[in-house]
Amino acid sequence: MSNLMDLIARIFISSVFLLSGYNKIFSFDGTVTWMEGYGVPGFLLWPTIVLEIILPILIIVGYKTKISSILLAIFSIATALIFHLDFDNQMQVIALLKNFGLAGGFIFIAVNGPKDWAIDKKKKYVRL
């Protein structure tokens, strides 16, 4: 049962990024404009979209989960510090804390691994 809960947790935390990457594709010009407003070059949007779609899928299926989780934790912290440091705007503070919470969840996954329901599942050898 705990392995099922691990999988569900990986799906929940990854869905934030999957949906975000999907939305960035369909609002590409607006996202570029928004990013450039913060001094981030617009050409970084394509790598961001790839990162937000590929890494969560890897986490969900349990392939290269630790490295994917570490990269998404770093990404979450970086985006929090770049885009959400306006302490006068309560919504930005909430977004900052959300990103830190996501980073914490990804660090937890990186430390504990994906458990049994994963492609990278450690094989248990039985000695005969």
What pLDDT does 117 receive? 82
pLDDT in tens, 40-80: 999 999 999 999 999 999 999 999 999 999 999 999 999 99
pLDDT in tens, 78-127: 999 999 999 999 999 999 999 999 999 999 999 998 888 888 876 666 67
Which residue is listed with tokens 């981030």? 40
* CA-closest candidate to residue 46, choices 38, 54, 37: 54
What does the mean pLDDT of the chain come to? 93
Q: How far apart are CA 117 and CA 2, in angstroms?
A: 10
Domain boundaries, the chain: 2-112
What pLDDT does 3 receive? 83
Which phi and psi (to 5°) does residue 123 adopt?
-80, 135
pLDDT above 80: residue 1: no
Q: How many CA atoms lie within 13 A of 37 on its CB side?
A: 8
